[in-house]
Amino acid sequence: MTGARAGAAPGGSAPAGPAPLGPAAIGVVPVGPVPVPVGPVPVAPAPPDLARRATADPLFRLVAYALEAAHGRPPAAVWSAPHAFHLGSPGLVAAAGWPVAAAAAPRADGLVRLSSLGHPADSCDLPLAPDGPPPAAPAWAVRPYALLRALARAGYGGGGTDLHVQGSLTEAAGLATAEPADCAMALAVADVHTPAGTEPDRGALARLLARALPDGDDALRRAVLFARPGQALPADAGEEGRHVDFDPAASGRRLVLLAVRGEPADRAAELARAVARARRAGALSAWTPGRRPGRSVLVLLPASRLTAVRAAVAEDFRGRGRPVPRFLNIAVAGAARREE
């Protein structure tokens, strides 16, 4: 992954928001009439033409190319946002090195065009109405559209946006997918509607997301926006919150996500059985990555026991004719950033 945009402070305080579109009173700034339709705003490709740079991360190349293929124009910005998780220690969250990417380009005709490779048949063009009943939209696009409306009310993107979002993990992995997608989209849209050289105000965007999408996990969003590599942060802290060391690799340990497969009704019992087998083979601890039990647990274990733990769990499930759980290596990552 490439470095953050100049002036960015991943995991720390972000520069103040822009004026006059800065979100000092985010969620209160009124939006004027929709501009007279004039079509998309011409943009230069996200430098240095991310879609065609062979050395770029494949996910970021893909999302840049996909926006161009779906909407006929290159992105003005591509942002990545890490998946995030709760720690076994109460009140701490951290980011995982598996990102969601969002590519955006500004418009000036009051139209939003939404696409995702996860929903290739359900791209949509919608009028951006900051207030009133929302237009009919494919199920997957309802949440992005609600976010775009909130951003427009705050002064970001009232003229419209082309937006493409794509993750590196599916819900089957067991990590929350909504929060990193929310943050990636908010940062990308705010970025392309912010004067060049000024990063969007992460603290203001966190507050906007909490109001616009109250069903989300605010603690995970804080990890997405303010995490640091090899560290965790308090779930109730913002950009100024005190970070604490959490770097399993530095102490000869590994952090893996263990996700069971099969019928939902069987998941709790199968997950408990997988954890029991992992502990017997040398795992140190296990906990759920979200606020509620789901299909996965995070497992901390000595690096020397990784193969033995995976083998023990796989042997038990295979011997019972059950689908073998997935194992996913987790690196403790930094915050969302602009991909250059």
Amino acid at 252: G
Instruction: Supply the pLDDT for residue 47.
Output: 55
Name the average pLDDT for the chain: 86
Contact 241, 318 (CB under 8 A): no
Measured between alpha carbons, how far is residue 267 from residues 170, 172, 299 in Å? 17, 12, 17
- pLDDT score for 340: 84
Q: Report the pLDDT value the prediction gives residue 239, as an integer from 0 to 100.
A: 58
In this prediction, residues 190-216 reach a mean pLDDT of 92
Cβ-proximal residues to 53 (8 Å cutoff; 6+ apart), any chain: 61
pTM of the model: 0.84
8 Å CB contact between 160 and 103: no
Range 299-320 average pLDDT: 97
**Which of 15-19, 64-68, 128-132 shows the lowest per-residue confidence on average (mean pLDDT)?**
15-19
96-to-129, 231, 269 alpha-carbon distances in Å: 35, 11, 26
Predicted local confidence at residue 89, as pLDDT: 76
